[in-house]
Amino acid sequence: MQNTITIRRPDDMHLHLRDGAMLAAVLPETTRHFARAIIMPNLVPPVVTLDDARAYHGRIMAALPAGADFQPLMVLYLTEGTDPVDVAAAKASGLVHAVKLYPAGATTNSHSGVRDFDKVMPVLEKMAEIGLPLCVHGEVTDPSVDIFDREAVFIDTVLDPLRRRVPGLRVVMEHITTSEGAAYAMAGDETLAATITTHHLIINRNHILAGGIKPHYYCLPVAKRESHRLALRRAATSGHPRIFLGTDSAPHADHLKEHACGCAGCFTATNTMPLLAHMFEEDGALDRLEGFTSVHGAQFYGLPLSDQTLTLTKGDAAQFPAKILSDAGPVTVFDPGFPVHWHVSN
Ligand SMILES: NC(=O)N[C@@H](CC(=O)O)C(=O)O
């Protein structure tokens, strides 16, 4: 039995760091284990322009814990007013690595997102030309579509037509949650990739709804039925070169989660790596963990692989903090609901 594994230092290709007090509290949870992260731009107001990204990058660098070696990979938030010239300058700056598409109304702070795709065609065409990836929140927002069907409907009615309309556009399907999402991503060509979160590999919709509502398991896209979770597990452990980790670690203060209209998001930065080692071991795929966490994402984004390492060892049951404290309030750390014996040892 394998009790230790050393992998290249991982990258988190979908991370919410927020700003201000929350940024200061959650950033060390990521920099402890990860070399780089794709930083989601859904702040209030959102990170829309290169200037916004530069300013946010500066705030992240200023909040880094002493001695941390961490590179934030900045992302622009696509609006109907986004300027293709600014997007090209953003790519040329070396600071910005993607543009994020939020269908307006799909999730936390998405109201500035896209309603009319015709308006963003010039930006998408420019991105295809310069090779800048589009990260996609893949859910339709039509209230008549059942929330559990919104990802599958998005693939058929928005994503696939969009990819045909803008050939060559590099697309990352963010936080896929369905067997349809996994199948579409895995059948795609080299322009298509997908991220999978830690929590969607662990929970299904029963975890949220059976035996009382568990707000800390509520996130978007919402976890689906068990067959979908198993499809995601197979995709993550398959070794597919364009399926990689994006934790979507999304901190919200507890009082906003435990609320009559609770915020969507699971906070997994703290324990993602031990949880992934647990799952990959369970699925007989420890040898594929490094690809998922540290290789495939970097390759898709055209980044050098990290030359640092992370070692995980198996031992006594790990004790994760139940909460991270911040001046914006406590944030509950994702509870997998089972004992985890893997620890990050360096
Ligand atoms: N995943 C979530 O449930 N929430 C994210 C937004 C997102 O990625 O959908 C957030 O910013 O809180």
What does the domain layout of the chain look like in residue ranges? 12-271
How much is the pLDDT for 107?
83
Residue 41: phi and psi, rounded to 5, are -100, 15
- Whether 57 has a binding-site annotation, put simply, is no
Rounded CA gap, 131 and 133, in Å?
A: 6
Quick one: pLDDT at residue 293?
Answer: 99
**What pLDDT score does 1 carry?**
76
pLDDT at 34 over 90: yes
Our answer on whether the CB atom of 236 is closer than 6 Å to any ligand 1 atom is: no
As given in the structure block, the two tokens for residue 95 are 């600071």
| Residues assigned a catalytic role | 248
* pLDDT for 113 beyond 80: yes
Q: Does 242 count as an annotated binding residue?
A: no
What is d(CA 110, CA 174) in angstroms, rounded to the nearest whole number?
Answer: 15
Average pLDDT over residues 311-317: 96
137 marked ligand binding residue: yes
CB-CB neighbours of 157 under 10 Å:
13
Classify each residue of 326-338 as buried b or exposed e, where b means 16 or more C-beta atoms within 10 Å of its C-beta: bebbebbbbbbee
Which has more pLDDT, 276 or 107? 276
pTM: 0.98
CA 332 to chain centre: 18
Q: Is 290 in the pocket of ligand 1 (CB under 6 A)?
A: no
Confidence of residue 304 (pLDDT cuts 50, 70, 90): very high
| pLDDT level of residue 289 (50, 70, 90 thresholds) | very high
Ligand 1 centroid to residue 177 C-alpha, Å: 13
Average pLDDT of the segment spanning 316-320: 94
The protein residue whose alpha carbon is closest to atom 6 in ligand 1 is 108
The answer for residues whose C-beta is within 8 angstroms of residue 158's C-beta and 6 or more apart is 103, 117, 138, 140
pLDDT in tens, 75-112: 999 999 999 999 999 999 999 999 999 999 888 888 99
- CB-ligand 1 contact for 30 (6 Å cutoff): no
Q: What integer is the mean pLDDT of 13-22?
A: 98
CA of 264 to the centre of ligand 1 (A): 6
Q: Which residue among 139, 248, 254 has the greatest number of ligand 1 atoms within 8 angstroms of its CB, and so is best to mutate? A: 248
* Cα 284 to ligand 1 centroid, rounded to whole Å: 30
**16 Cα to the center of ligand 1, angstroms:** 8
- The SS3 of residue 186 is helix
pLDDT at 237: 98
What is the SS3 assignment for 98?
Answer: strand
Domain range 12-271, CATH architecture: Alpha-Beta Barrel (3.20)
Read off the pLDDT of residues 143-198 as tens digits, 9 standing for 90 and up. Answer: 999 999 999 999 999 999 999 999 999 999 999 999 999 999 999 999 999 999 99
Closest residue to atom 4 of ligand 1, CA basis: 265
224 annotated among ligand-binding-site residues: no
Average pLDDT over every residue of 278-301: 98
Q: Answer yes or no: are the C-beta atoms of 25 and 331 closer than 8 Å.
A: yes
Provide the pLDDT confidence category of residue 131 given band limits of 50, 70 and 90. very high
Whether 220 lines ligand 1, by a CB cut-off of 6 Å, is yes
Judge whether 206 is annotated as a binding position: no
Neighbour order of strands in the sheet with 11-15: 11-15, 36-39, 71-77, 96-101, 134-136, 171-173, 192-196, 243-245
Q: Exposed/middle/buried for 76, CB within 10 Å: 0-12, 13-18, 19+?
A: buried
15 Cα–ligand 1 center, Å: 9
Query: Does 72 score more than 90 pLDDT?
Result: yes
- Which of ligand 1's atoms lies nearest the C-alpha of 218? 3
Determine how β-strand 342-344 pairs with β-strand 309-314: antiparallel
User: What confidence score (pLDDT) does residue 106 get?
Assistant: 85
pLDDT(346) > 80: no
In sequence order, what are the residues at sequence separation of 6 or more whose Cβ sits closer than 8 angstroms to the Cβ of residue 259? 215
pLDDT of residue 74: 99
Q: What is the enclosing helix (H) or strand (E) of 22?
A: helix 20-31
The answer to whether 166 and 123 have CB atoms below 8 angstroms apart is: no
